[in-house]
Amino acid sequence: MDKSPEVLLELVERLGNLLRAEFRRAGADEQLQPVHVHALVYLTRANRYSNTPQAMAEYLGLTKGTMSQSLLLLDRRGLIERYQDDLDRRVVRLRLSTSGEQFLYDAQPQSAWQHATRNISPNRIRNAVSALRETLTTFQSDNDGQPFGTCNGCRHFERLSARAYRCGLMGDRLSGPEARKICWLYEEKGGGVEEDEE
């Protein structure tokens, strides 16, 4: 009987807690809750399709009502800016304000973690990443949640030339940096579960 999956669960749980505590510490000066810090971090990593309240709520596992509250607070504190989408006027777009960027720069909510992996060889880290990534994918398809991946590996990702990319779903051209950001339209490429188009 192998207990490894349980142990892995426990480690992820435990590290998740510590990360949360770290976010709490990082936000303490500004009176921010962990979820607020997490929201700001998310904004630095979300691509142009994913900088909306809804995508953020999915990502953080909250309802849209709850999300709305947190965004209200971040807006009041001047850490984010909200503006309307040109094409669909129901949609609100989000971005970090200058002081939001400054806050993340000062608080460095992720540095303690980065530091904690310093003794582990890149190869072991890559192995761990691959195992966890697969777990995440399985977990998400089991619970049919939004996927949230980056472009490489996405079914809609098209390479036009050496440096030019394109999202086949939205039809937009993408810059290299943008192709590395988080997208909530992500869909697993090949071999996966068929989508029912009805």
Partner DNA sequence: AAAAAATAGTTTCGAGTCGATACTTTGCAA
Partner DNA sequence: TTGCAAAGTATCGACTCGAAACTATTTTTT
Type and span of the H or E element at 57:
helix 53-60
- Candidates 4, 31, 114, 161; binder of DNA (CB under 7 A) is 31
Look up residue 1 and give its amino acid: M
Residue 183 binds: one of a second copy, DNA, none (C-beta under 5 to 8 A by kind): none
- Closer residue to DNA in complex, CB, 18/120: 18
Using CB under 7 A as the binding rule, whether residue 46 contacts DNA is answered as no
Using CB under 7 A as the binding rule, whether residue 61 contacts DNA is answered as yes
E-assigned strand segments in 39-186 = 80-84, 92-96, 157-159, 165-167, 173-174
- Candidates 45, 159, 173, 189; binder of a second copy (CB under 8 A) is 45
E-assigned strand segments in the chain = 80-84, 92-96, 157-159, 165-167, 173-174
**Are 82 and 92 within 8 A, CB to CB?**
yes
In the chain, the N- to C-terminal Cα span, in Å, equals 43
Binding residues among 69-128 for DNA as defined by CB under 7 A: 69-73, 82, 87-92
Closest Cα to residue 139, out of 2, 8, 3? 8
Using CB under 7 A as the binding rule, whether residue 8 contacts DNA is answered as no
Write the interaction track for a second copy spanning residues 123-162; mark x where CB under 8 A is met and - where it is not.
xxxxxxxxxxxxxx-xxx-xx-x--x--------------
3-30 b/e with 16+ CB inside 10 Å = b?
Answer: eeeeeeeeeeeeeeeebeebbeebbeee
- Candidates 68, 98, 111, 127; binder of DNA (CB under 7 A) is 68
- Closer residue to DNA in complex, CB, 8/92: 92
- Where do contacts with a second copy occur on this chain (CB under 8 A)? 2, 4-21, 24, 38, 45, 59-61, 110, 112-136, 138-140, 142-143, 145, 148, 193, 195-196, 198
